[in-house]
Each structure stands twice: as C-alpha cells, then as structure tokens.
C-alpha cells in the first residue's frame, strides 16, 4: 500500500542547487526503506564513475560527508580504487580510475525508478507481478530507441533533463498494453561501470546508458532483442 511520497531519483544524487522539481511517486514504507538503502550506497559510489561536471562537484562536496557516515562503504571504495583504461566511442583509450562496484544494487534501484517514472508521467500503477527489467548497456541501443519513438504519439513520449544534466532520461509508453514502458537513462554524463563484468586485462566497458522495461512478462523477449 502506498503510504508515502518518494523522490524517484533521490535528492542526494543532485547538488543542493539542483534539487527543485524532482519527480515523485507514491511508495509504501517497506519499498521506501529498501530503496533508500540502495540510494545511500549508490550516491556515494556513482559520482566516482561519472564523466559529467556535476559528478565532479558532487565528489568534492556531497560524497565526503556521506562517506564519513558510512565507513564500511568508504573502506571498500578506496581500498578497491585502481587505474584502468576506458575505451571511448571511436576506439580511443582514456586513462581513468575505477572502483569495485555492486552492479546488482544499481539494477535493483533502477527497477524502483522504472515503476516511479511510469507513475509520475502516466499515472501507471504497476502491480507486484508486472515485469520490470533492467539492462546496463553500451550506447548501442540509441538507434533502436529512436525507431521505437518514431512509432509513438508525442503524448506517450518524455524527454527530461534533471539537475542540469545530472540525470537525463527519455521514456515512452506503448498504447497497448499500457504497462509497457521503455526508459533510457544516464546519470553523471554516463557512468563507467566496473563490477564483476569487467573484462580481463584492465579494460572497462563504458556503460553510458541504462535501459528499463516495464510491462507484462512477455516483455522479457523485447529486452533480449537488444542484447
Ligand atoms: Zn512497496
């Protein structure tokens, strides 16, 4: 049962000056608690992997305070920091640093985000048995998303920029079934992930875009088309 209102993207992901008019959605107490545990972890970790100016400023202002309060995350984070080579689009390698990162926590958070955005934009209430799936991907799906968008009426599309580019997302809702929504999200200019999926040899994939699909369970097939 929804008994409170929750920010779809936690306020702590944004600089203080960028926290106005963030999307909200109803949430139950239980989900709210689980989601905010994920947010505490990710707000400390994601800015390290971002490429956007907001990520850098967040690192120098918000993150140290949060790490102070969370010594365990702090130890894990700095203990695991290491140099790596990031392969940018076009094949150029850039020097960067990566931290070990629990990708499952991001995936779990994005499932809440997908449900929240579907409600925020279209008053779509997804039930527990509705499907929400997440894909952390390189930016290869953009063309596919464009072609999906071209088939949708404008009122079923959104294109949003929160906090001066801290979060960018686009979404669409299918006319039938209405539970079918697709979201493309990037934070901090595209986060460079390094978790278990990191390849041998020190290269990291740049996962600039995250996909969220909501809908009935047949939708699993739609997301597998993108792999
Ligand atoms: Zn709940």
How far is ligand 1, taken at its centre, from the CA of residue 3, in Å? 9
What pLDDT does 122 receive? 92
User: What is the Cα–Cα distance from 28 to 46, expressed in whole angstroms?
Assistant: 25
Q: How high is the pLDDT of residue 129?
A: 84
Number of domains observed in the structure of the chain? 1
| C-beta of residue 133 within 8 angstroms of C-beta of residue 110 | no
In sequence order, which residues have a C-beta less than 8 Å from that of residue 220 and are 6 or more positions away? 131, 133
Using only the alpha carbons of the chain, give its radius of gyration: 17
pLDDT number for residue 227: 41
For residue 13, how far is the Cα from the chain centroid? 11
Domain around 164: 4-224
What's the CA-to-centroid distance between 40 and ligand 1, angstroms? 18
pLDDT at residue 62, as a whole number = 67
Å from CA of 108 to ligand 1 middle: 13
pLDDT of residue 226: 46
CA distance 107 to 36: 14
Q: pLDDT means per 10 residues in the chain (227 residues)? A: 87 92 93 93 78 64 64 60 56 58 86 96 89 74 71 84 92 87 86 51 60 75 48
Residue 94: per-residue pLDDT: 57
For 172, the 3-state DSSP assignment is strand
User: Which pLDDT does position 187 carry in this prediction?
Assistant: 87
**DSSP H or E segment with residue 199:** none
Q: How far does the centroid of ligand 1 lie from the alpha carbon of residue 27, in Å?
A: 6
Measured in Å, residue 26 CA sits from the centre of ligand 1 at 9
């Amino acid at each position: 049962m929804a008994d409170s209102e929750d920010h779809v993207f936690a306020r702590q992901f944004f600089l203080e000056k960028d926290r106005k008019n963030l999307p909200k959605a109803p949430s139950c107490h239980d989900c709210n608690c689980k989601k905010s545990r994920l947010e505490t972890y990710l707000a400390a970790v994601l800015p390290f992997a971002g490429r956007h100016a907001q990520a850098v400023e967040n690192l120098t202002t918000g993150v140290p305070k949060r790490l102070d309060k969370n010594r365990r995350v702090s130890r894990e984070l700095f203990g695991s920091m290491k140099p790596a080579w990031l392969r940018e689009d076009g094949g150029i390698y850039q020097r960067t640093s990566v931290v070990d990162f629990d990708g499952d926590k991001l995936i779990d958070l994005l499932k809440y985000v997908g449900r929240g955005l579907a409600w925020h934009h279209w008053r779509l209430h997804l039930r527990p048995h509705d499907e929400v799936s997440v894909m952390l991907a390189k930016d290869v799906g953009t063309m596919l998303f464009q072609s999906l968008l071209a088939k949708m009426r404008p009122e079923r599309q959104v294109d949003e920029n929160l906090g001066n580019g801290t979060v960018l997302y686009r979404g669409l809702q299918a006319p039938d079934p209405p539970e079918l929504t697709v979201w493309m999200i990037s934070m901090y200019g595209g986060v460079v992930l390094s978790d278990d999926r990191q390849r041998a040899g020190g290269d990291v994939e740049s996962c600039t875009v995250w996909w969220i699909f909501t809908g009935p369970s047949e939708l699993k097939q739609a997301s597998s088309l993108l792999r």
